[in-house]
Structure 1
Amino acid sequence: MAFGILVYLQTVPLPISRHRMHFCFILFFFAFLPTTGFAEDAVWNCHQDKNSKEWVCTGEKASPAAIPEEKDEPLAQQPPVSTTPAAQPEVKETAVSEPAPAPAPVHETVAEAESQPKAIAEKKIPVKSTVRKAVPVKKNLQQEDTRQAGWHCKTAEGGQDWNCNLTGPDPKGQPHVVSTEATGFSMLDPAFDAKQEQIFANLRSNLKYDPWAHCSIEPGAAPVFTPRSPLRDVSPLDVNADYGEVFENEISSYRGNVEITRADQHSFSNTAQYDTVSQTLDLQGEVYYSEDNLSIYSNSASLKLAQDQATLRNVEFINPSAPLRGRASAAYRESKVLSRYKDVAYTTCPPGNTDWVLHASDLKLNDATGKGAVKNAWLEFKGTPVFYSPYLSFPVDNRRLSGFLAPTFGSTQLSGFHFSAPYYWNIAPNYDATLRPRYFTKRGIMLAGDFRLLTPYSNSKLGLEFLPNDKLRDTSRFLGSLKNTSHFGPYVSSNMDLNYVSDKEYFGELGNALSFPNFSHIRSIADLGYRNPGIGVSLVGRVENYQTIDKTLTGYNRPYRRLPEIDLNLDHTFDFMPLTANLDSEYVNFNHDDLVNAQRVNVKPSISAPLQAEWGFLTPKVSVQHTDYQLTEKSFVPPPNVVPASWSNTVTRTLPIFSLDSGLTFERELGKADSSMKHTLEPRLFYLYIPKKDQNDIPLFDTSLYDIWFSNLFRENRFSGTDRIQDANQITMALTTRLIDSETGLEKMKLNIGQIIYFRDREVTAPLRIRNLPDFVTIPEQGFQMPVETDRVSPLIAELSSQFSDHWSGETGIQWNPENNDIVRGKAILHFMNKAEKILNLGFHYRRTDLVERTLLANSSIWGPSVQAYNAALPSGTPSYNPLTDPNVLHSTDLVQSDISFRWPLFNDWYAVGRWQYSWLYNKTQETFLGVEKENCCWRFRLIGRRYTNNINTVNSSVQQLAEGTSQSGLFFQVELKGLTGLGESLDQFFEQSIFGYQKPTQ
């Protein structure tokens, strides 16, 4: 596979926009020194400080005073490891002739500079120059006492070991040789030798923060700090050196440990010269430069400030914003927008790691056009060449450029191996296109693409996929989508999301098995709305359509279309009293091919008086809900396609609703002061009254029964939608207790217990729609009517959750029906997370069809004459059909499922990732994937194998389908060189959806 990738990439330029080179390290020099940094007509007056014995020189209109000639050699240059001035030792003089009198030294603030003589005050940036006298270099390093105490190392011959010498006392032992870690197999010499790696380590220490500290899977962003670059224009220029001279009032020369500091900028070199006439600055010998977002090393730097030109030799740099580091044998700044580089190598790997390096003989960057180009580029991975191109072009900023994107490929059981080479076309500044042709070995070539259009008021995207001839189906197939978001002012906006596929199996057969949907319908929606939260008004009009792609859903199991729907909501809170008024209203036109159509108007005004205090709350609320239906014929069904005789064409319903919600909060401290815990008791009562009204003459358009859990105990209606309003005279009794760590705020324990007490039977019910029935069963249009519910109490609900520690958390819940001593719901979930590298999730879910439903389903008499006729027609000796023995019916809504997902470290940044969902009801794996992931600061690698069930879920699938299955398998691969490019399918979103707690790496 490596050779196949090599051949392909030779013809593909680097990806656009997201991955680009960052060679901005030259720009610092042109903001470093102003052209007026040295007075052209000034000379230097110097005097020796009586306390520090340093020479302090300032430019003045006075006679020059010569600095006494020093016969000793200057101190040997040592690379700096920090920008802190204290890191440079002060060297005191022993004897020096007294110079001519001079004025006081220039201070480091602008305000103090204004008090100096006129020659100094006229400068845009004050300059403080401190000249130190150097002592001779001691030849014996073992005896040198000016170096900082500790180990001083250099590479030995051969470059494999470090020769180290000790300065000062070492309580841990004598001088010794430290061996370097073996790098393993490599076809090439390291891109950066030991000396360059040491320089990179120094550059890294000069930055405000470590740019590679937040590049792994660990959550959290790079540290935030306030940049000091805006202070450069108002900050003084501080120059420190062992020697300083001025020639002919034009050339300033510094020698020996030259430090130049201004705001966030700091340079360190052996020598520095500045020509005020030509405005040329030369830095020579071990040049280190750092600022907030840049760190550079060079042998020499020559800058022509007036022409914005510069030349650097043997450059090494770190750009923390990427982050990346690299080197170049030479860098040429030809103008403000154009720069060239020779013999370039760069990587995003941290110092000491060269897993991948990109090399190029020539590099050109043009900031005006936003383009860059390289010649003779080749990529080295793990010391092995994997890619070469004689020419590549790429963007150097966020401007879009046409070119090939990273290819993607994978394999599925139904379509075979697939490969795609996307091409990005930058048509104009406000619109572009991406062409995504894809080849399937089993099905043929698919043409696909996206078109984007951006205007000041809208953002649109059109997507198309077209397979001219599916080899396996011998037909054409397609998918289309249109998305648009528009704003017509601060309060008016529109949204459009339209989707359509040619057939129900499109996603299952032509998807990549990572984006495979677990939904049964494709939703298309378009809306236009006015929303003003300031005055509490919301008016939205929309149209909504569903395309069913689940073959098991037919007839009444398909949802209604809303053509159109208009919602008006008003919300107002009075300032002079605790009173809130609301109005929820809607108009919907329901459309269906097989069921009764209707227009529905619903209006629900309400008034509530929330009374709140620290110790509790009380909220009475009164509502009136009025609903009006205009029923019409079915759309396209042959006769009898009229409204059933039991239903009137016009139905009206008006019901008052009263609720009273109340609660108290009790708290106390437990334990000692250093380990205190807060314990709370929070009882809650919720009373609800709604009178009974017969609603059997109202069809169901968007209504179903809520699955009851603790949060649903406090709803005003146990039905979703508007077609059913329950009759209620009930009270919910609930208790919540918490155990909170006062120091960390963690809920060590939270227990919820609640139950509804009914004061009368619930006669308002919704028809039961039974799925997966045999074809011979005649189903009433609205399903089978459920009997009256006579239970005095609801199932007792208990939910327990806990944050055991910083790493362990869990939750569990259970529903117990006291009427028949039966457990109808249950769940248990356990999470372990140690930072982001160790993730383990264990879950178990249990759901059993309610006893009332089971009784209804087991009663074969409700099926009508169709079942009786079927049984009568059976051959002699053939068992008759009985719903009680049909698992498709009895378990149509049952669920017994376990779920395990994890991400666990193996070794050296390698992780195992996986998930396993298993149905204990059907004894079958529903979905599983297993793979490995490599994640570090400079590259990532992922490989997973996935087996999944196609177009099937536990809610609408029959036992036979789950037992026999339509499962398929897929193998998926991804490799990404951070800051450069990647290959294969992106797995970030898939892992985030499949593994609870997984977070996409920040870099």
Structure 2
Amino acid sequence: MSKAWGVIATVIFSTNAIAESEFTPKLCGQHLQPLAWQPLSSLPNNAIDIQADDVEMQGKDSAEFSGNVVINTNKMSLFASSALIDKKQGLLNATGPLRYQDLFSDVNANALYADLDNTEISLLGADYQLTQQLGHGGAEKLSASQSKISLINSSFTTCPAQQPFWELEADSITLSKYEGWGETRNAVLKILNTPVLYIPYFTFPIDDRRKSGLLMPKIAPSSRYGLEIVLPYYWNIAPNFDATLSPRYMSNQGVQLNSEFRYLTEQHTGQLGIEFLEKDDSEPHLDERYLVHWNQQSYLSDNWRLRFDITNVSDDNYLTDLTSEYANETGTQLDRTAVLSYLGEHWLTDIKLQNFEVLGDHTESYAALPQITWRNREAYNALGLDFNLQGEFSYFSNSELLIEEASRFHIEPKASFSINNTAWSLLSEVSLLHTRYEQKGDLQNTVYNFDVSRTMPKVRIHGQLNFERDTQLFLLNGTQTLEPQVQYLYTPERNQENIGLFDTTKMQDDFYGLFREQRFSGVDRIAQANQITLGATTRIFDDRNQERFNFSAGQIIYLEDGVKPSAQSFDNQTNYNALFAAQTMIHWHRRWYFSAGIQYDADAKELIESHTTLDYKGDNNKLVQLNHRYASDVSGYEIDQVGLFSSLPINDNWQMIASYHRDLTTGRSVEVFAGVRYESCCWAIQLTGKRQIETDLNRTIHQDDAQFDSSIGISFVLKGLGGKSNYDIEQVLQQGLFSYRRPYFLNN
């Protein structure tokens, strides 16, 4: 059952300055601003060079020039019909039509009055063009000094056309050269020469520097929030500190206050974000709703590093109801981690505090308070062997689980022998894994023990051969490699059912996973192994050493039934024996990519997972991707889905984007996204429509019960009032549940 369609209309103004690179030659063509003026290279300092058809002296200190007057100083140039210069007082009067140029502006005017000693100039009836950034307009009077340009009864726009799409008309406009900002008083914003907005006072950027002040609001009526208005205020506290306060009015929910503080010092860089809604009118049973996010990276000394990332929300559905830029609205847990690292001469040590806030009806996680890991920085060499040591101490707690507290000590010495040659390599490793647990809780009549010690050896032998030959297959003057590899892994059986699962999960089964030395992350479960893994990779490179093709395939062969995954249950997950995995990439043309992978249970003759992706990437954001993904068991469901991403430019100004995903198992679409965009040198508008499965973390939604949320969005950008289009097609296609993934990043 689908919800009614809602409409989201967004008008975007930001305070980021518009650089010339924003306006590509295809969009702006010949309208780019002229090059900045340069003084005559041969002119001495404080000298005035004057050329004219006629000159008439008026005493010793003044003269009148007429006919094609050209005046040059180190700070400006002037072309005029006539000019009067008073050398003693440093005054210059000129009549036009005239043209004035300096480092900042290029002006056509009717008359000019200048104080050359103080470099203060006034022009009447001026049409001006900024030369160090986009901007032009007209003014009844233009006054220029070394620090600013003042415009009286004037207009301003960054649209390069003579009849701009938008412009500001104001009683006064001041452009500060040194501060990089403009301000207007009693301004009217006109679009297509039609007044649309009166602004008593307004500031805007003319370069990339920052300034405190109100940012332009966001207005977005929608079916979810009703009328949404965001009015942000930017506070430039210091060059290395700033903050943004953004009151957000939502007619369906209430008033939310969002704030962000950023800081940068010699040792620390970080960001603190707080979002607070005192009362949500759409959820009256809830108390205050809030989000707090804090991340920081610190370089305490040459040896010590500190980083932490903390996000906390008031309730499970905060992200799905109110959204936030600090977390994914479809995420099921928030990570809160702090890590203190020591980089010593011989040892590397991490002291980590980690906790998870689980959202919705999902399994609770343990907090690690703390988890201390260490390993030697370089191997110790003796008797031709390399000796390494790594270890860990962890303390886990969660009062809501059966095992409420647990401490774990793990140490793992390893001896290895390796040979690395261009043609072949060999690695032999012998490890001793010792782990001790102390577990606390109501463990009577359970499989868990209070004290557990587990010791086991592990043997791993891995070898690889590297063959190479010239080939004409697929291309001329190519090189083909063949890289067979074999691994033997042995770990004896140990009873581990009396140990809880604190930070351990099953790792992904793909081709590279076949050659891992463990099946699980963490050490709560160490899989019994007596197995051989066989695999090989072949690659083809062109004459520029670019990889055009690869194919990898491998399989694990278990030497006894007791070591097969099906004989070692783990957290009620499905296990597969005789796992075969293969993957390939074909890049036969610079614009075409093909990628595929498969995982297959050779014993049960069952397909486990597969993916296939075909990409075409052309010029001007042209993109088409077809993909298919299959998984036999995801939370008890079979997933069989096909998808399409596309970006099709119609011409230099128009662009269409679309994505579509369909579930073949249920025979329905699971996400549809489409949009059309028009972008010119001066403005841009984008219309998008989206329909996707609605997320509700407070209840489990089965495939047959899924509900859909549909919406239409409109965004409008005026370039030059700070608005940037920033139209990255890959970023736009990240907006749904299924995100676009670039070629070579398709497997994980």
Q: TM-score, normalised by structure 2?
A: 0.80
Task: Measure, in 1, the Cα distance between the counterparts of 2:412 and 2:81.
Answer: 83
- Counterpart residue number, 1:751: 551
Aligned counterpart for 1:600 among listed residues 395, 408, 417 = 408
Is this contact kept in 1: 2:258–2:273, CA < 8 A? no
Which of 429, 434, 439 does residue 626 from structure 1 map onto? 434
For the structure 1 residues 402 and 785, does the alpha-carbon distance in structure 2 shift closer, same or farther, using more than 3 Å as the test? closer
In 2, Cα distance between equivalents of 1:494 and 1:481? 20
Q: Which residue of 2 aligns with 1:961?
A: 702
Q: Which one-letter code corresponds to 2:713 in the other structure?
A: F
Q: Which residue of 2 aligns with 1:197?
A: none
| Pair 578,572 (structure 1): closer, same or farther in 2 beyond 3 Å | farther
In structure 1, the partner of 2:16 is 18
- CA distance in 2 between partners of 1:891 and 1:405 (Å): 46
Q: Contact 1:912–1:931 at 8 Å: present in 2 too?
A: yes
Match of 2:184 among 357, 367, 374: 374
| Alpha-carbon distance change, 396 to 258 in structure 1, aligned in 2, over 3 angstroms | closer
Displacement after TM superposition at 1:461 (Å): 1.3
Is the 2:380–2:388 Cα contact (8 Å) retained in structure 1?
Answer: no
Give the structure with the larger helix fraction.
1
Pairing 1:187-586 to 2, within 5 Å after superposition: 212-213=23-24, 269=79, 287=99, 289=101, 296-299=106-109, 304-312=115-123, 314-319=126-131, 322-328=133-139, 330-334=141-145, 336-351=146-161, 354-366=164-176, 372-394=182-204, 398-413=209-224, 415-425=225-235, 433-451=243-261, 457-458=267-268, 459-485=270-296, 486-511=298-323, 517-531=329-343, 535=345, 537-551=347-361, 553=362, 557-572=363-378, 582-586=388-392
Q: Is the 8 A contact 1:631 1:650 kept in 2?
A: yes
Equivalent residue number for residue 560 of structure 2? 760
Gaps of 5+ in 1: 23-208, 634-640, 770-781, 850-889
Task: Tell me, in whole angstroms, the C-alpha distance in 2 between the residues paired with 1:762 and 1:230.
Answer: 86
Aligned-partner Cα distance in 2 for 1:579–1:951: 55
Return the structure number with greater strand share: 2
Structure 1 residues 512-551: Cα deviation after superposition (integer angstroms, max 9, x where no partner): 899752211122223333346xx46433322222222223
CA deviation after TM superposition for structure 1 residue 693, in Å: 2.7
Contact 2:719 2:725 in 1 (8 A): no
TM superposition shift of 1:717: 0.5
Deviation at 1:899, TM superposition (A): 2.2
- CA distance in 2 between counterparts of 1:514 and 1:985 reads 20
Residues 649-688 of structure 1 mapped to structure 2, 5 A cutoff: 649-671=450-472, 675-688=476-489
Q: Percent identity?
A: 25
- Cα deviation for residue 606 of structure 1 reads 3.7
Q: Within 1, Cα distance between the matches of 2:584 and 2:539?
A: 10
Partners of 2:477 and 2:710 in 1: CA distance:
53
Q: Contact between 1:796 and 1:816, CA under 8 Å: does it hold in 2?
A: yes
User: Compared with structure 1, are the counterparts of its residues 440 and 353 closer, same or farther at alpha carbon in structure 2 (3 Å cutoff)?
Assistant: same
| Equivalent residue letter for 1:839 | L
> Once the 2 structures are TM-superposed, how far is the Cα of residue 582 of structure 1 from its aligned partner?
4.5
Aligned to 2:642: 898
Contact 1:470 1:476 in 2 (8 A): no
Mapped partners of 1:767, 1:584: distance in 2: 30
Give the SS at the match of 2:563. Answer: coil
The alpha-carbon deviation at position 363 of structure 1 amounts to 1.1
1:442-477 per-residue CA deviation (whole Å, 9 max, x = no partner) reads 333334444556666443514031232534434324
Instruction: Using the TM superposition, name which of 248-257 and 373-382 deviates more.
Output: 248-257
Aligned equivalent of 2:512: 711
Cα distance change on mapping 1:916 and 1:978 into 2, 3 Å: same
CA distance in 1 between partners of 2:384 and 2:625 (Å): 45
Distance 2:309 2:482 in 1: 47
2:684–2:725: 8 Å Cα contact kept in structure 1? no
- Paired with 1:802 and 1:541, the residues of 2 have a C-alpha distance of 43
* Letter matched to residue 421 of structure 1: L
- The question of whether the paired residues in 2 share the 8 Å contact of 1:739 and 1:748 is answered with yes
Task: Name the CA shift for 1:742/1:240 in 2 (closer, same or farther; >3 Å).
Answer: farther
Q: Deviations over 1:559-617 (max 9, x none)?
A: 22212222223322689999866543322211221231311122234455554444444
CA distance in 1, matches of 2:385, 2:81: 77
Which one-letter code corresponds to 1:589 in the other structure? Y
Larger Rg: 1
8 Å contact kept, 1:16–1:402: no
The aligned amino acid for 2:390 is D
Change (3 A) 1:658 1:301: farther
Match of residue 832 from structure 1: 616
Cα gap change, 1:340/1:768 in structure 2, threshold over 3 Å: closer, same or farther? farther
- Partners of 1:360 and 1:377 within 8 A in 2: yes
Separation (CA, whole Å) in 1 of partners of 2:42 and 2:447: 86
Q: Are the aligned partners of 2:39 and 2:72 in contact in 1 as well (CA < 8 Å)?
A: no
Q: CA deviation at 1:324?
A: 4.2
In 2, Cα distance between equivalents of 1:295 and 1:330: 14
Q: What SS class does the counterpart of residue 508 from structure 1 fall into? A: helix
User: Aligned residues, how many?
Assistant: 716
Distance 1:808 1:325, change over 3 A: farther
C-alpha distance 455-817 of structure 1, shift in aligned 2 (>3 A):
closer
Check conservation: 1:974, 1:985, Cα contact below 8 A. no
2-structure distance, mates of 1:259, 1:234: 12
Superposed CA offset, 1:485-537 (max 9, x none): 244334434333333333222222333899752211122223333346xx464
Q: In 2 relative to 1, CA 404–765 (structure 1 residues): closer, same or farther, beyond 3 Å?
A: same
Deviation at 1:713, TM superposition (A): 1.7
Residues 1:977 and 2:708 aligned together:
no
CA distance in 2, matches of 1:569, 1:230: 64
Give the 3-state SS of the residue equivalent to 1:470 in structure 2.
coil
The CA deviation string for residues 244-269 of structure 1, in whole angstroms up to 9 with x for no partner, is: 9998799898986969799xx99684
Work out which structure has the larger RCO, using CA pairs closer than 8 Å and 6 or more positions apart in sequence.
Answer: 2
Match of 1:757, as an amino acid?
I
Give the residue type in structure 2 aligned to 1:311.
S
1:270-307 superposed Cα distances (whole Å, 9 cap, x missing partner): 7898887666678876647587xx67353576654531
Match of 1:863 in 2: none
Cα distance between partner residues in 1 of 2:741 and 2:424 = 35
Q: Secondary structure at the match of 2:514?
A: helix
The separation in 1 between residues aligned to 2:295 and 2:635, in whole angstroms, is 42
Aligned equivalents of 1:756, 1:333: Cα separation in 2: 78
User: For the residues of structure 2 that align with 1:333 and 1:843, how far apart are their CA atoms?
Assistant: 60
Note closer, same or farther for the CA distance 1:611–1:350 as it changes in structure 2 (3 Å cut): farther
Instruction: Assess if the C-alpha contact under 8 Å between 1:344 and 1:360 holds in 2.
Output: yes
Cα offset for 1:708? Answer: 0.8
> What is the Cα deviation at residue 239 of structure 1?
7.9
What TM-score, normalized by structure 1, do the two folds share? 0.62
Q: Residue 417 and residue 434 in structure 1: after superposition, are their counterparts in 2 closer, same or farther (change >3 A)?
A: same
Question: How big is each residue's C-alpha offset from its partner over 1:625-649, in whole Å with a ceiling of 9 and x where there is no partner?
Answer: 322211111xxxxxxx235553322
Distance 2:173 2:583 in 1: 63
Q: Write the distance in 2 (CA, Å) between the matches of 1:436 and 1:657.
A: 57
Q: 1:411 deviation in Å?
A: 1.9
Q: Structure 2 vs 1, CA of residues 442 and 765 (structure 1 numbering), >3 Å: closer, same or farther?
A: same
Q: CA deviation at 1:619?
A: 3.5
1:702 aligned counterpart, secondary structure? coil
Secondary structure (helix, strand or coil) at the match of 2:501 reads coil
In structure 1, how many angstroms separate the alpha carbons of the residues matched to 2:421 and 2:112?
Answer: 70
Superposition deviation, residue 808 in structure 1: 1.8
Distance 1:580 1:305, change over 3 A: farther
Quick one: structure 1 residues 660 and 286, their matched pair in 2 at CA, closer, same or farther if it must change by over 3 Å? farther
Mean Cα deviation higher: 964-973 or 429-438: 429-438
SS in 1 for 2:703: helix
